[in-house]
Amino acid sequence: MVQITRRSLIRTGLAAAAVAGIVRPQLALAAGSVSAAGTTLARTWQRGPAGTGGYRKVVAGPGEPHTVRTEFVVPAADRATRRRGVLAFAQLSDVHIVDAQSPMRLEWVDRFDDTDIDGDPTTGLASSAYRAHEMLSTQVADAMVRAINDVASASPVTGLPLDFAIQTGDNADNAQYNETRWNIDVLSGGTVLTPDSGNRSKWEGVADQDFLSYDPHYWHPDGQPLLRPVDLPRREYGFPTVPGLLDAARRPFAPVGLRMPWFTAFGNHDGGVQGNFPPGTLGAGMSAIATGSLKIISPPAGLSQADLLHALRTDPLGLLNNLLNTLEIGTHVRLVSPDKDRRILNRRQIVEEHFTTTGTPVGHGYTADNRAQGTAYYTFVRGDVQFLVLDTVNPNGYSNGSIDQPQMDWLTAELAAPRAALQVVCSHHTSETMDNPLIVTGGDLSPRVQGPAVVALLQDHPRVIAWVNGHTHRNQVWARPGGKRGFWEINTASHVDFPQQSRLLEIADNADGTLSIFCTMVDHAAPASYSGSLANTVQLAALARELSANDWQEHTSNRSGALSDRNVELVIQKP
C-alpha cells in the first residue's frame, strides 16, 4: 500500500484498499541500442555530500540503462533486431503551479508537521502547505517543457517522435483561476506570462521581509529584517541567502511551449482547495478569502495538532474565518493586495479554461460533452492506441480519489467497444489511492467505485496494456496480473518535489508475440547549480531543484523510486 506522506493536508481516516497481484520484478539489462541524450539514460541528478546544516548541492551522477521487467512474459532475446515502434509520448505529472502569495495558501499549518521522523503522529497534516521553493513553480514547468522539446524529435529507444504529452493531474495547486491559466500558458507558449498576483510592484507573502509579520519558520531568501531572528531553514538546515529571488520569481517571461499536442487529466489540487476542500460546497467562501486582503501568516499560540485536525475535518471554512476575524493584524495576519484572479474555480470552469489556449488540441482533450455536463473524463486515439482519461477526483473532498458509477459505466462501455488495437488508461490517482468512498452530498448517491474494482475491470480487457498516473509524487511501477492477463501500472513523480522529473513512454512491438513499454525518466533542462544567477527560467529552475532536494521534511524520502521504477522495459503479451 502506498504511504501517503505529510503532503496530505488532512488525514482522510479512510483505510486504503489492498490491490492484489503485486509480484517481485525480475530485472535484466534491456537489449538494443538507445539514444541517451537529454534523458537519465545519459546522466542523473543526485543529492551531493552534506554541508552546513546538512544542506546538499545537486551533483551529476551516472546514467541508468533500461532494465527489463518480465512478470508477465519473457520476450525473445533478439527482439531488438525486429522491434517496431508503435507510439511514443511524454507524461508530466503533479506540476503544481503555485500562487505562493495567495491568502488561500495555508503555509502556517506546515509547522504542525515540521519533522522528518518515521512514525511522527503529525505526518499527513501539511498538504502542499509550504515548500521553500514554491514561488518557482512556473519556471520549473518551463524548464521541463524545454527538456521534453529537446527529445521530442526522436524518442530514445524506438526513435519515434513524441506524438503528444499528457498531464496526469494536479496541474494547478490550489484550484485558482490564475494558477490554472499559468499552467495552460506555460505548456502552450505564445504569450508572455507574469507569475505574480496581488501587488505587482512587490512580493506579499510569508517569504518577504515585512517586519511585523516576519515568521522565522519560513525561508526568507533576502534574509531577516533588522532585529528579527535568522529563519529556521537558514539557521538549522543551511539554506542560503539569495537576494533578489522574490523579484526574479515574479518577473515576466515568455514560455517556449510544448512543440506537440498536449492533453490533461483532472487532479485533486485542480478540483479542490489545497487538494482537499471541494469548491462545490466551500468555493464561494474560500474564493472570498483567496481574493481578499487578509492573509494568515502564523497560527495562534496554543493551537494544537488535535484541535487543528478536528477543525479542518469538520468546518475548514469556519476555522479560517474565525482566525481571520480574531487574530491580530500585523503579526499573525497581514494585509495584502486583493486580486480577483485568485478566485477558486469548479470543475466545469477549469474544463472551460482549456478552450482558451494557444496550444493544440483546443480543449486539451476535454470535449463538448465535458463542457456541457461539467465532467472531466474522455477518450482519444493516437495511432494504434486508444487513451481513456479518467477523472478520479471525489467532489466531496479529501486528497484520495474514486469514480462515480456513471463514469464506471462509460469506462466499461469504452473497453468493450475498443477504438484501437491497444488501450492505455490515464488518471491522476493510482489504483491504491482510489480509496475514497465518500458519496457526494446532493449528487449521485450510488456508491463510489474504488481502485480494486477498476483494476479488476481493466484486467478483464486484454487490449489494456497500461494505466499511467501520478498523485504520489514518486516513481513507481507495478505489475497487475489477473483476469484475462493484467496490465502495467506506471506512476510518475512530480515537478514540485525532488527529483522533479517527467517520463517518456514508448510502446514497441517486438514481433515475437510481445510488446515492450519503455519508460525513461527526464529531468528538466536546468543545470546542477544556478551558479548565483537569477537571469532566466532555467537558472531559477536549477535553484528550485536544489531547494527541493533540501526540504527538511523530505530528507529520508526516495521519490525517485527503485531502479525497477525508473528506466524500465515493461514486457507484456501482445493482444
- Segment 392-411, tens digit of pLDDT: 999 988 899 999 999 999 99
Task: Inform me whether the pLDDT recorded for 114 exceeds 80.
Answer: no
As a whole number, mean pLDDT of residues 262-278 equals 93
Query: Residues 25, 29, 35, CA angle at the centre, nearest 5°?
Result: 125
Task: Inform me whether the pLDDT recorded for 8 exceeds 60.
Answer: no
Task: Say what the pLDDT of residue 443 is.
Answer: 63
Q: Is the omega angle on the peptide bond into residue 65 within 30 degrees of 0, that is, cis?
A: no
DSSP alpha helices (H): ranges in 262-346? 279-290, 305-314, 316-326
Residues 557 and 61: beta-carbon distance below 8 Å: no
Instruction: Give the three-class secondary structure for 327.
Output: coil
177: in domain: yes
Instruction: Give the three-class secondary structure for 290.
Output: helix
Task: Say what the pLDDT of residue 107 is.
Answer: 94
Q: At 32, list the grid cell.
A: 538494443
Burial of 13 (0-12, 13-18, 19+ CB in 10 A): exposed
Residues 407 and 390: beta-carbon distance below 8 Å: yes
Long-range Cβ contact pairs of 82-85 (< 8 A, separation 24 or more): 82/510, 82/511, 82/512, 83/32, 83/158, 83/508, 83/509, 83/510, 83/511, 83/516, 84/158, 84/508, 84/509, 84/511, 85/155, 85/157, 85/158, 85/159, 85/160, 85/506, 85/507, 85/508, 85/509
Nearest to 151 by CA among 502, 543, 409: 502
Other beta carbons within 10 angstroms of residue 356's beta carbon come to: 12
550: in domain: yes
Task: Say what the pLDDT of residue 364 is.
Answer: 98
The set of residues, in sequence order, having a beta carbon less than 8 Å from that of 9 and lying 6+ positions away, is 106, 109, 125, 126, 127, 128, 129, 274, 275, 276, 312, 399
Query: HSE of 12 in the Cβ direction (CA atoms, 13 Å)?
Result: 23
Task: Inform me whether the pLDDT recorded for 458 exceeds 80.
Answer: yes
- Segment 291-301, tens digit of pLDDT: 999 999 999 98
Q: At 226, list the grid cell.
A: 533588522
Angstrom distance (rounded) from CA 368 to CA 293:
37
Number of domains forming the structure of the chain: 1
Reported as a pLDDT band with limits 50, 70 and 90, residue 540 is very high
- Report the range of poorest mean pLDDT among 11-20, 21-30, 180-189, 361-370: 11-20
Task: Inform me whether the pLDDT recorded for 448 exceeds 50.
Answer: yes
Residues 34 and 49: beta-carbon distance below 8 Å: no
Higher pLDDT, 307 or 76: 76
Task: Say what the pLDDT of residue 9 is.
Answer: 36
Task: Say what the pLDDT of residue 29 is.
Answer: 54
Return the CATH number at 256.
3.60.21.10
Expressed as residue numbers, the domain containing 528 is: 43-573
18: in domain: no
Angstrom distance (rounded) from CA 180 to CA 42:
33
The set of residues, in sequence order, having a beta carbon less than 8 Å from that of 437 and lying 6+ positions away, is 14, 402, 447, 448, 450
389: in domain: yes
- Report the range of poorest mean pLDDT among 51-55, 134-138, 552-556, 566-570: 552-556
Task: Say what the pLDDT of residue 115 is.
Answer: 52
8: in domain: no
- Segment 28-39, tens digit of pLDDT: 556 665 788 899
Burial of 319 (0-12, 13-18, 19+ CB in 10 A): middle
206: in domain: yes
Task: Say what the pLDDT of residue 23 is.
Answer: 44
Q: At 140, list the grid cell.
A: 520549473
Task: Say what the pLDDT of residue 122 is.
Answer: 37
Angstrom distance (rounded) from CA 534 to CA 431:
40
- Name the β-bridge partners of 263: 166
DSSP summary character for residue 68? E
pTM: 0.93
Task: Inform me whether the pLDDT recorded for 4 exceeds 80.
Answer: no
191: in domain: yes
- Report the range of poorest mean pLDDT among 7-16, 184-193, 498-507: 7-16
* Cα separation of the two ends of the chain: 29
Q: What are the DSSP E strand ranges found in 137-266? A: 165-168, 262-265
- Report the range of poorest mean pLDDT among 13-22, 115-124, 493-502, 540-549: 13-22
Reported as a pLDDT band with limits 50, 70 and 90, residue 21 is very low
Instruction: Give the three-class secondary structure for 514.
Output: strand
Mean pLDDT of the chain: 91
Q: Which residues of 160-179 are buried (b: 16+ CB within 10 A; e: fewer)?
A: bebbbbbbbbbbbbbbbbbb
17: in domain: no
Task: Inform me whether the pLDDT recorded for 10 exceeds 90.
Answer: no
Q: Percent of the chain having pLDDT more than 90?
A: 81
As a whole number, mean pLDDT of residues 521-530 equals 98
Angstrom distance (rounded) from CA 207 to CA 202:
12
Burial of 35 (0-12, 13-18, 19+ CB in 10 A): middle
Q: Is the omega angle on the peptide bond into residue 25 within 30 degrees of 0, that is, cis?
A: no
Angstrom distance (rounded) from CA 142 to CA 187:
7
- Segment 183-241, tens digit of pLDDT: 999 999 999 999 999 999 999 999 999 999 999 999 999 999 999 999 999 999 999 99
- What is the spatial order of strands in the sheet that 262-265 belongs to? 67-69, 568-573, 514-523, 501-509, 84-92, 165-168, 262-265
Q: Which amino acid is at 392?
A: T
As a whole number, mean pLDDT of residues 483-495 equals 97
